[in-house]
Each structure stands twice: as structure tokens, then as C-alpha cells.
Amino acid sequence: MKGSTEYSIINFAYFTANFTPNFIAKCWADDEHLINHLETKFMSEAKNGFMSIQGFMNFFFNLDRENQTKLVLWINENYSYTY
């Protein structure tokens, strides 16, 4: 199933609830300016220091298509929810 569309969707869904704290720095390691910008945007979605799934999705939907794609590909390569 790994590599399938279904697996990718399930993996992304679980990542939204279990993301690693430094995923932005890892995903955008090639652009320090963008890391700082996206970390600020990401933290603006947190409420009382807690990031909800809704907050994560708001962050995702506010990325441009290129960065959405970059994040999805990074998740598929670097995160694996095991059943």
C-alpha cells in the first residue's frame, strides 16, 4: 500500500495530528528565509501554545501550490504512520 494514493492521504491526515516540531526547517532546508517566514505563519495558527488540526490545515491551505506540493512530498518521504 505504501506509495499508493490511499496511503499518501492517510499518511498526510495522521501527520496533521502528529507532526514533528521541526518539520518546517527540514522540509524547506534549502531556504532559510522561507523557514523563518513559514515558522512565523505556522505559529500564528497556534492557540494558547497548542496547534490544532484545524490550525495545521489553515497553515497548509495558506501555502501556495508549490509549497503545498513540497510539503506533501516531504511528508510522503519522511513520515510514515504505521498501522
pLDDT at 4: 83
Per-residue pLDDT reduced to its tens digit, 2-41 = 668 888 899 999 999 999 889 999 999 999 999 999 999 9
Helical spans, DSSP H, in the chain: 5-18, 23-27, 32-44, 53-61, 65-78
| Residue 22: CB atoms within 10 Å | 10
* Cβ proximity of 79 and 15 under 8 Å: yes
Distance CA 50, CA 73 (A): 25
